[in-house]
Amino acid sequence: MKKKALIISISSIITIIIVISTSIYLLLFSKPFNINNSTFIYIDEDDSADSVFAKIELNLHPKSMTGIKFLSRIKGYEKRIYTGAYKIDAGTTTFEAFKKLESGRQTPVRLIVPSVRTMDRLASKISKQIMADSASIANLLNDSSYIAGLGYDRSSLPALFIPNTYEVYWNMTAENFIKRMIRENKNFWNTERKAKAEAIGMTTTEVCTLASIVDEETANNKEKPVVAGLYINRLKIGMPLQADPTVKFSLQDFGLRRILFKHLETDSPYNTYKHAGLPPGPIRIASVEGINSVLNYSKHNFLYMCAKEDFSGTHNFASNLNEHNTNARKYQKALNRRNIK
């Protein structure tokens, strides 16, 4: 009898162990997330364990949070929470998801640096893609001492940024964002590009300044080298650039559709109707296409350009004032027909 009782007890213990082990296995190695596509969990500096749990529930729709919370308790997760972006796939197990969060094994994200007109706009766009908020980015971009230490001033600063898509970690700070942009700028301005800038007689900032005007003049990439060549022709002979986009920048009125004589009188160093040569700095973050169009500008004898009367976004070019005036009259008539003031 005693032997039989012992066997029964051992069998019961084994059964309990099996049941517990199975339960733990199912708890930790099941695939609890009700998502069809890979989904990111973003953990910020002020997140607690409870707020992380709330983000998991909101974004991953788990069948149960028991496994995550169990692991969090035994591992003391609330004492060390890593910021970052963590990609969770539909087939990720509870254990795999927790290990990512606990170890800080975040997933790189894509950061798109856009070609925008103002530094405030840049700060807003970037803050939507990384952990740093727009205020912290804007504060750096408006800190004269800080940007002077980078070799720029408020006017030339847009030349630092090269619009592109970069792979970064989401939890980068504003300072690390700027450091990354400095590194990318150095990579972009390689020996070949610097040599081309020198051959034109421009610094890299001056190339970006002219490129920013070209970008504002036309969205047609095929036309950009022609426009760049026109402005370089003007610079060579000391002729004012007389670029309408610089007037808009002077007025900070980027929606202005028709430049009138009163606008041309704007007192600003950026107004290239009143001041010869390049303006103090870029009027926007120049696109890569714009920069390359200056470095590889078309060689021709054009000195004048006017938007085409068909509103195609392209231009009529002329080498003398008579031809240009003919083109300008066509465009003015088209504006009048459309009642564009």
Tokens found for residue 7: 């066997």
- Tell which phi-psi region holds residue 140, choosing left (phi > 0), alpha (psi between -120 and 50) or beta: alpha
Reported as a single tens digit per residue, the pLDDT across 112-168 is 999 999 999 999 999 999 999 999 999 999 999 999 999 999 999 999 999 999 999
Residues 285-308 have pLDDT tens digits of 999 999 999 999 999 999 999 888
pTM of the entire predicted model: 0.86
Q: What's the token pair of residue 51?
A: 């707020």
Q: Quick one: how many helices (H) and strands (E) in the chain? A: 15, 6
Q: Find, among 146, 147, 148, 126, the residue nearest to 137 by Cα.
A: 126
- Residue 9's pLDDT band (boundaries 50, 70, 90)? low
Question: What are the angstrom distances between the C-alpha of 113 and each of 40, 61, 119, 172?
Answer: 21, 32, 12, 14
How far is it, in rounded angstroms, from Cα 157 to Cα 277?
A: 19
More confident position, 22 or 67: 67
Q: What are the backbone angles phi and psi of residue 195, rounded to the nearest 5°? A: -65, -40
- How far is residue 164's CA from residue 287's CA, in Å, rounded to a whole number? 9
